[in-house]
Amino acid sequence: MEQFFLFLQKTPMNMVLLATVIISGAMLAWPAIARLMRPGQEVGPAEAVQLINRRDAVVLDVRDAAEYKAGHIANARNVPEGELESRSKELDRVKAKPIIVSCGRGNRAAGIAARLRKAGFSEVFSLRGGIAAWQQASMPVEKS
């Protein structure tokens, strides 16, 4: 170990190369670490389709109305994030069903799914990658 530190001290470029290796390794590992630290469960488009078809899951789209109209998952309910509390009675009717929360890129969905779990919803999932991942997987979208 001592020889390694001497080797690094000999040439400043060795320190730069070591720092580059450490930083690039951390950047490669970050998505996996971030996924583990997110609250709750995530599902990809394929798992979401299985939940919808096999267990009659409800898709909750939390984007604003304009984004929703541009394209959404079939039979998704549009409840913008700002209206979540005011429309809670509407959501209480589907409390027993699995709920898949979707947003544009998957960033907001995880936080909203955690809020729904705290409110007493037992099975809440966030759509990993949001509608963007859904479309990238060539899944159908409806426009209204």
**Mind telling me the catalytic residues?**
103
Name the residue with tokens 């544009």.
104
Asked whether 109 and 38 are in contact (CB, 8 A), the reply is no
Asked whether 61 and 91 are in contact (CB, 8 A), the reply is no
Q: Which residues, 6 or more positions from 108, have their beta carbon under 8 angstroms from its beta carbon? A: 62, 81
State the CB neighbour count (10 A cutoff) for residue 109.
30
Name the residue with tokens 């898709």.
59
- Which pair of structure tokens corresponds to residue 140? 């159908």
How is the chain split among helix, strand and coil, in percent rounded to 5? 55, 15, 30
